[in-house]
Amino acid sequence: MCAIAGLVSSEINLIDVDKIKLMLSKMEHRGPDGSKLWHDDDICLGHNRLAIIDLSNNASQPMIDVSNRFIITFNGEIFNYKELFNELKEYKFKTKSDTEVLLASYIKWGNKCLSKINGQFAFAIWDTIKKELFIARDRMGEKPFYYYHNGERFIFSSEIKPLIDLLKLNDKICKKALREYLQFQCVKAPNTLIGEIKQLSPGSFGFFSGKEIRIEKYWDICKHEPNSYETKEEIEKKVKSKFIDAVVSQLISDVPIGAFLSGGIDSSAIVAVMAEYSDIKPKTFSVTFDEVNFDESSYARTISKKFKTEHNEIRVKSTDFVSKIPSILNKMDAPSGDGPNTFIVSEAVKNQGITVALSGLGGDELFAGYSGFKQAYFLYNYKQIWNKSLGLRRVISPFLEGKKNRLLNLEEFTIKNFNEINRSVFFPDEIDRLINETDSFVNLNENIDISNFPILSQYSIYDLLNYTQPILLKDSDQMSMACSLEVRVPFLDSNLIQYVLGIPDKFKFPSTSKKLFVDAIKPLLPPEIVNRPKMGFSFPWDKWIREDLYSLSYESLVNLEKRELFVKGSIIKLWTDFLLKSPNVRWSKIWLLVSLEIWLQKIEFN
């Protein structure tokens, strides 16, 4: 896991090696084990290394192939590199690294190598003969890839801040993108908050040569045909098998590896597989709290005891956590309504000498673990009655608040509409009152067709696209890498995703949280874990913003309102309504704006 950066230009005088060095220096946390550059007349590639596989200097990057034609800079891990190695016998390997296997794979198969690769990655490969740059990003977007292209230059980076600082763009915040950030607390690829800077979309690759860039998808979560399914027992057997394969494949490492262990179903299942299906004695880490309402330490201890893990409890006091929040926000590469939670765990794990950790992220979205799944399934099955009751619903809606009010005012019920309401922080009419921009952003989910998927899987897909990819994975990457920790996510293995999304609803109906997954892995886990109530990992943000974080929040909002982005008086009115405990102004709206202002203070525009 590393940082990558590069600059390609047809104009020789535009290649500035010092600028790439500066970009890398701002991402040292992503790769503290070494920094290296390679450059030619029309390109400069850079790399900061977090050494995980083949720790020798021979495996450092940018790496040149044995023919001296291709050069790669790569961030991530290729989990099946040993299997691919056996298909590449004609290549004369100099290292035992997954980087060289990836490079050899591209040399042999070109962009078709992406269909063979299982991993989390963002990389660039330069062809010195064709004068062509190949770029690619993993299927689910676990690793970031930001870029800028103006016809003369193509510049890329693992983080957006170094790009902004380097370019000093005149085009500052894109107001259409700002609308999307305010509604969904993120900006989905290929866009960013900065209009001139883009993201390579998950599951995409591209070629840059001359002055042109062309980008294509090689994997799309919406394009897979459902498989044929038989009995419940057979489905459970396959789910268990694919989950085990996903976890075991992600245990490759030449450095210490551990696991986040909350004591919930997802993290407990990962630890169970680590203990039962590998030679690794798991090192586990859980966060414990003084507040009983979200302390799950007793469940984590149960799993640790059963599987004889080397367990570490990280005691977090509210006062200690709150005191760190300003510094955590300053470490965020992109603003978010979340993130500090992940940083606290990552920092503690790294301090224990761990470089790689497995996370249970994605289990709820894939196996219908959230309450929204059950609500969506119920309403979909009664949508005919729902759609015919608009008049009655609008009579009732004034007596309800927030998202329930919005839901009752829908013209018709669709899975897409329900998911968007469920995942919105601000709603479009609320955003209209905040910013001077009436044009709506381009909703990338408008034209997707997933009607061939079961209803629960449709909700899963929208959640994965609207929430998991652009928020949870982004925050997991930026907060863990701020601590020089690599986080791996077995639940988002593409083989597991493709199988589970095709499973008919009758086998997955969420009578209880993640019932199918629980039944599939039940023999691995003790009953007290299987039958425990679901708990969310959250903090008392509402209380903190009103008390400990009052000054930080108020000062940030005052400064934010001074910017030309917002209607004068709109931000302070929101703050006043929050303090008066207006039901329509939850803490999440305030914190989203606070995060935005602190991020804006740290970036450099012209």
Residue numbers annotated as active site = 2
Contact 342, 476 (CB under 8 A): yes
* CA distances, 120 to each of 124, 221, 249, 297, 299 (Å): 14, 16, 12, 30, 30
Strands (E), 481-527: 486-488
Q: Which of 543, 517, 549 is nearest to 530 (CA)?
A: 517
Contact 557, 595 (CB under 8 A): no
Assigned token pair, 268? 């407990």
Residues 6+ apart with CB under 8 A from 7: 14, 15, 16, 19, 20, 43, 44, 153, 154, 155
Assigned token pair, 412? 């018709």
> Which residues, listed in sequence order, are joined to residue 49 by a DSSP beta bridge?
2, 32
Q: Which of 368, 5, 347 is nearest to 159 (CA)?
A: 5
* CA distances, 588 to each of 45, 425, 549, 578 (Å): 39, 7, 14, 10
Q: What is the phi/psi pair of residue 166, to 5°?
A: -70, -45
Ramachandran area for residue 600 (φ above 0: left; ψ -120 to 50: alpha; else beta): alpha
Helices (H) and strands (E) in the chain, counts: 27, 17
As a whole number of angstroms, the distance between CA 202 and CA 204 comes to 5
Helices within 332-484 (DSSP H only): 340-351, 363-366, 371-381, 383-387, 390-396, 402-408, 415-423, 428-432, 455-463, 474-481
As a whole number of angstroms, the distance between CA 81 and CA 85 comes to 6
Helix (H) or strand (E) holding 573: helix 570-579
Assigned token pair, 567? 């209607």
End-to-end CA distance of the chain: 32
As a whole number of angstroms, the distance between CA 425 and CA 427 comes to 7
Contact 343, 482 (CB under 8 A): yes
The amino acid at 576: T
